[in-house]
Amino acid sequence: CGSCGHACTAGQTCTNSACVSTTGTAGTTGSGTAGTTGSGTAGTKGAGGTTGAAGTTGTAGTTGTGGSGARACAPASANVISDFEDGTGDVIVQGGRQGWWYVFGDTLGGTQTPASNATGPVVVAAATDPLPTGDTDSCDKWAMHSTGTGHSASNTSSYEGFGTSMDQIIPPPASGSKTKNAVDVSAFDGISFNIKSGSGTAPPVWFELGNTETTPAPDGVATNNAVDEYNTRGKLLSTIGTTWTTVYIPFGLLAPRYLPSLTASGCSNASTVCQAPAWNPKSLLGLQFSVYPQFSTTTLNYDLWVDDVTLYSGANGLATVAPTGGTPAHTFPIDAAVGTCTKPAGASGKYLADMYVQWKAKFVTGSGSSTRVQRPENSNDTVSEGIGYGMLIAVAFGDKTLFDGLWSYSQAHVATGMLMTWDISSSGSNAGTGSATDADEDMAYALIEAGKQWGGTYAATAKTMIGQIYTSDIDATAMLPTGGSNYVTVTGGGKATNPSYFAPYYYRVFAGVDTAHTSQWNTVASNVYAAISNIETQVGTQGLLPAWCSSSASATGSLCNGVSSNGGTDDKLYQYDAHRVPWRLGLDYCFNGSSVPASGKTFLTNNAAFFASKATTGVGRIVDIYTLSGSPNSDAEPNSMSIIGTAGVGAMAVGNTFASTAYHFVLDASYTPASFIPDTTGKIAYTYFNATVGMITALTMSGNFPTF
């Protein structure tokens, strides 16, 4: 405090370079004669009289109304970080620690209030009506109010904001020394606060939590600016209005500010861990309300009020998904066991509800029988695979309204029987011909699970549809799935087939439903593994299969013995279609491991080992398209939830720790605002296929994929 540099004790604050009581109110004037007693001064919180020239110290006056620095009321909760009622900017003392509030900004121009203070907390403002909900005039006299103007949104080096340390080292140490200690908040589930804009609509604000892992020395250990230094975890606040709003930030939904990848200069160093640091609740240094040009291309000017910053326990801030259209037998989240497989650490459905709400808002359009899943990257068309995925997701979340809408849409656009035409334009006209086997299988399986959720006629409909799949999509000679209803055969040099359509877990379920073809479905389940083994023999043991394969003879042993194409540029590569192979086979291995031949485990083991090796120095080194020898293709992009999530399911099946890396990446990529910001070529990471397949793999790894 002041020039002497010592800390004031509890119940005191530093005023005019002296420690004075904060518990008293203004005193009345003291009395005394010169040389014996000093005279008290009214309005100084009972600081006492001044010293006479030659006498003893005068007696302090009695208390009055108090001034800045007088705590109005005790904290509303023992977990309050700061309610600002100490009248400075200090974090409320908890467990012997104390922090302070500060402002920060670049040196490129602009101004901020309050004024920065290098050796203590900034000045807080008098609270103004209306106060946050639950606060009263008698207990809420102060709040944090900060403004910033003149910082350029067009300059990528600009930044500004305000924040607080959690455990400040007091008095301030010498320059270059550690200034704050880490605090363990692992006993809590999140942080809440009240916030409003003082004028107009605020720019997007990145609420960020600084850890030792994302802070450079001397306070932290982060070393690489392009990868981990200042790559804080937080949440983007995009709709801050002019009325007080209580915001809850669950720790389980914290996402990195950006996703490091090979395109980042820091990842060009092979020894750098090219991955956002994980959230560590035991190393929290502080929190900030920050404005960056990364999130705003118009203005960085802000006028923000913040109050009642508090640690909390519970589910506040997590979305909940209420059942629609009926009462499901299994409400979300289920968090069931995934067969014999061990789920990734921390995998829980409660963190996926927000993902579902976001996915539905982004990709589901229409209502009633016009409800569909669209592909914004492809002129908002709809493919049957998207309807199948949507039906699976709807069953998992108990969303009968969505399920029925998607199923109705599929039946309004059939290719044959109940099998949907594979591609429908945004106008509703057929953009493709025939069905796609993978979509047919997903829809039929979703109908089976819908029957378990809601009863009714779903099970009977599923049985009929499975019979049609057997007739239209299965090559009766090879007993192997074709590409769809327009693909007559895959034998004798016939049309190519797609290994990612092989769904042995489904086939074992179909065998119990379509009793007219029970033995045939079991044979198909066995044959897909023979085909996988055949093609892997042709392409090597990287665990990477082509999207399409062909057969040169009708014998089962010759199925998928060659790399083929269906007309696509990347069909002979490990691309988006092929991504799904470890998910479909991994699902079967987790639930039917004893029935899976050794070749199935061999493929999953090879696939998991490949991706684990790529992620040794960071998941950001994994791209979305590989040659079959394991090299990134020339058109490959990083940060694909599809390739990483599906490989994670396969890794979970064989006990590879890459499963945990993959699961947490899918959450990071779903929640980080960086996934929605176009790169230099205009591409974003949160695409229809990445987001949808990513969600399905997260459901699978957390035990929430429908296997009722």
Write out the catalytic residue numbers.
385, 438
Crossing angle of helices 576-592 and 688-701, rounded to 10°: 10
H-helix segments, 492-595: 504-513, 518-539, 576-592
Nearest to 231 by CA among 183, 169, 274, 181: 274
Cis peptide before 114 (omega within 30 of 0): yes
- Phi, psi torsion values for 383, nearest 5 degrees: -110, 150
Structure tokens at 55: 């006498």
- Read off the amino acid at residue 347: A
The token pair at 372 is: 């569909």
The CA distances from residue 57 to 18, 33, 34, 52, 95, in Å, are 16, 11, 11, 7, 35
Please give the torsion angle defined by the CA atoms of residues 613, 617, 623 and 628, in that order, rounded to the nearest 10 degrees: -20
- Chain centre distance of CA 673: 9
How many Å apart are CA 255 and CA 670, to the nearest integer? 8
Q: Supply 371's token pair.
A: 């409800």
Write out the DSSP string of 135-187.
--TTT--EEEEEEEES--TT-TT--EEEEEESSB-SS---TTS--B--B--TT
Residue 291 three-state SS: strand
Contact (CB, 8 A) for 374 and 389: no
Cα 514 to Cα 524: distance, rounded to the nearest angstrom? 13
What residues contact 109, with CB distance under 8 A and at least 6 apart?
A: 150, 151, 152
Q: Compute CA distances 584 → 461, 505, 539, whole Å.
A: 23, 7, 20
Take residue 390 and report the two structure tokens written for it.
């949507």
Inter-CA distances, 357 with 41, 52, 238, 254, 399, Å: 61, 71, 17, 16, 11
Question: CA 667 to CA 690: how far, in whole Å?
Answer: 12
In angstroms, the CA 674 to CA 685 distance is: 8
DSSP tally for the chain: helices H, then strands E: 12, 25
Environment class of residue 545 by beta-carbon count within 10 Å: exposed (0-12), middle (13-18) or buried (19+)? Answer: buried
- How deeply is 119 buried, as exposed, middle or buried, from its count of CB atoms within 10 A (0-12, 13-18, 19+)? exposed
Residue 52 main-chain phi, psi, to 5 deg: -70, 165
Q: DSSP secondary-structure letter at 680?
A: T
Strand locations in 548-649 (E): 548-550, 562-564
Q: Tokens at residue 686, please?
A: 């949160």
Q: Rounded CA gap, 422 and 246, in Å?
A: 45
